[in-house]
């Protein structure tokens, strides 16, 4: 049994640098068949101007985390325990929560989860902007792109229609679209996929956000277009100094775009660190499994690594470590005790190979010391 993390309830701004600090985020969906713990105790932070990648396979909770930060879920069916809503939580959600601490999403010290709706709307799009995977569905087909950007600008900043329109042209120019005066008058369907994603980025940047959340921004695009967009994201991030949170399943994109990375599995953070540390010397068996199952150069002629089995049923998570049933290194405590990243020292991997399980006498098998490179 894991003890509640008391430290997490400390004063909001424990690290003064942090722009966004997510603490013990738990996002549960109450559906007909039960409660899905889509995100179950996720903590990380992003400093001003920094870049963070969140990686994981489908269903690991990475997109739900982003939507939770933006508060784009409906309650019900989605429940995030905060100090304010303890009384409203359904009983089965409460039972699963046990004595887990309240979730907090601190943005410049303010808890977004308890912010009144009106103030949250001011944050959304203005201070935190989001870029979605499918640029076609996130643009309204019946308005010109200029209209949509200008509208967003006018919504958040006091500006005349004319100024907003100029700002729209300016931000379209800034994302490398030729002939912006003509493009603002076009409708989304007249643009190609890459162009639409540029427009989405232009829209996200139009209000000078402090944080950009990009949810699989290049997954729907071709490689050569993906290269353009990644270049663009890097470039605008450099120029504007906004922090970037990039959500993706593609480890290559992560390696090229961000500095720090959070690896998620089944609603949990399993490993964090700099890109170099995590991708070159992964600690968590899941991270390692992922990296070795990618057919990369030099793997030719060898069998690829396989992570056996499938992701656990979200209604019925295994006791102990979520990854234990598929883990080639699992040993005694893994099936009983739940490794939490907060308990690890340093707090960078949730795995009993690196810390001693409470009450367990089993010695972790000797492991590769930190720094022994996975890639020779």
Partner 1 sequence: MTEQRGPDTGASTTPATGGAEVLVRVENLKKYYPIYGGVLRRHVGDVKAVDDVSFEVRRGEVFGLVGESGCGKSTLGKTLIRLQPETDGRASISGEEIFEKSGEELKRLRRRMQIIFQDPVGSLNPRMPISDIIGEGLVAQATKENGWASRKIRDSRVEDYLEAVGLRRDYTRRYPHEFSGGQRQRIGIARALALDPEFVVCDEPVSALDVSIQSQILNLLLDLRREFNLTYLFIAHNLSVVQYISDRVGVMYLGNLVEAADVQSLYTRPRHPYSVALLSAVPDPDPRVRKKRIVLTGDVPSPAAPPPGCRFQTRCWLRERLGNPENCETEIPVWRDMGAGHMAACHWSEELPDDVVGQAVAREAPPAPVLKPRVNERPATPPTSPQPGDSPLPGPGTVGG
Partner 2 sequence: MSESTLPARPAATPDPESADYEVALESLNQWQLAWRRFRRHKMAMVGLFIFAVMVFLAVFGPVFWPYDPLSLRSDLPGPQGLSPLDLPPMGSDGAGRSVWSLVSNGARLSLIIGMSTMAIAVTIGVSVGAAAGFFGGRVDGFLMRFVDLMLTIPFLFIVLVAARFFGAGELLPLILIFGLLSWPGLARLVRALYLSLREQEFVQAAKAVGVGNVRIAFRHILPNAIGPIVVSATLLVANAIILEAFVSFLNFGLKAQDISWGNALARSQQTIAVGNWWWPFFPGMAIALTVIAINFIGDGLRDALDPRSRE
Question: Does residue number 360 form part of the binding site for partner 2 (CB under 8 A)?
Answer: no
Indicate which of partner 1, partner 2, none lies near residue 366 (CB less than 5 to 8 Å, by partner kind): partner 1
Q: Please give the backbone phi and psi of residue 211, each rounded to the nearest 5 degrees, phi first.
A: -135, 135
Within residues 290-349, the interface with partner 2 by CB under 8 A covers 308-313, 316-320, 324-326, 335-336, 338
Site for partner 1 in 159-198 (CB under 8 A): 192, 194-195
- Binding flag, residue 30, partner 1 (CB under 8 A): no
Least distance from partner 1 to the Cβ atom of residue 181, Å: 18
Q: How far is the CB of 97 from partner 2 (least distance, A)?
A: 8
- Here the tokens at position 235 are 């470039």
- 219-258 footprint of partner 1 as x/- string (CB under 8 A): ---xxxxxxx-xx-----------------xxxxxxxx--
87 binds partner 2 (CB under 8 A): no
Phi/psi of residue 39, nearest 5 degrees:
-125, 130
Q: Is 285 in the site for partner 2 (CB under 8 A)?
A: no
Give how many residues touch partner 2 by CB under 8 A: 25
Measured from the CB atom, the residue of 233 and 264 that comes closer to partner 2 is 264
What burial letters (b/e) apply to 89-113, b meaning 16+ CB within 10 Å?
A: beeebeebbeebbbbbbbbbeebbb
Query: Could you list the residues that contact partner 1 (CB under 8 A)?
Result: 57-58, 192, 194-195, 222-228, 230-231, 249-256, 275-276, 279-280, 285, 288-310, 324-332, 334-335, 353, 365-368, 372, 374-376
């Amino acid at each position: 049994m894991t003890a509640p993390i008391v430290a997490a309830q400390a004063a909001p701004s424990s690290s003064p640098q942090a722009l966004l600090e997510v603490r013990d985020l738990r996002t549960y969906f109450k559906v007909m068949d039960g409660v899905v713990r889509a995100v179950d105790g996720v903590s990380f932070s992003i400093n001003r101007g920094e870049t963070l990648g969140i990686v994981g396979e489908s269903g690991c909770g990475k997109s739900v985390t982003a939507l939770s930060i933006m508060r784009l879920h409906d309650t019900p069916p989605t429940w995030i325990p905060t100090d304010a809503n303890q009384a409203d939580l359904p009983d089965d959600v409460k039972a699963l929560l046990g004595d887990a601490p309240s979730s907090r999403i601190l943005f410049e010290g303010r808890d977004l989860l308890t912010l009144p709706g009106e103030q949250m709307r001011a944050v959304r799009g203005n201070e935190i902007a989001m870029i979605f995977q499918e640029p076609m569905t996130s643009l309204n087909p019946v308005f010109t792109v200029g209209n949509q950007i200008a509208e967003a600008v006018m919504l958040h900043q006091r500006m005349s229609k004319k100024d907003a329109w100029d700002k729209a042209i300016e931000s379209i120019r800034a994302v490398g679209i030729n002939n912006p005066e003509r493009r603002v008058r076009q409708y989304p369907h007249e643009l190609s996929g890459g162009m639409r994603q540029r427009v989405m980025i232009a829209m996200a940047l139009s209000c000078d956000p402090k944080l950009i959340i990009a949810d699989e921004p290049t997954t729907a695009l071709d490689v050569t277009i993906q290269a353009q967009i990644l270049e663009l994201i890097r470039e605008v991030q450099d120029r504007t100094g906004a922090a970037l949170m990039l959500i993706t399943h593609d480890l290559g994109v992560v390696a090229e775009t961000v500095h720090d990375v959070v690896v998620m599995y089944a609603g949990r953070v399993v490993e964090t660190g700099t890109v170099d540390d995590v991708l070159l010397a992964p600690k968590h068996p899941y991270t390692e499994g992922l990296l070795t199952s990618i057919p990369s150069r030099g793997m030719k002629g060898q069998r690829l690594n396989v992570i056996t089995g499938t992701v656990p049923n979200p209604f019925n998570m295994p006791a102990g470590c979520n990854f234990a049933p598929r883990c080639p290194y699992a040993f005694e405590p893994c099936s009983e005790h739940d490794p939490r990243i907060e308990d690890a020292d340093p707090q960078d991997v949730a795995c009993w190979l690196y810390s001693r399980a409470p009450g367990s006498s089993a010695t972790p098998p000797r492991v590769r010391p930190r720094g022994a490179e996975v890639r020779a």
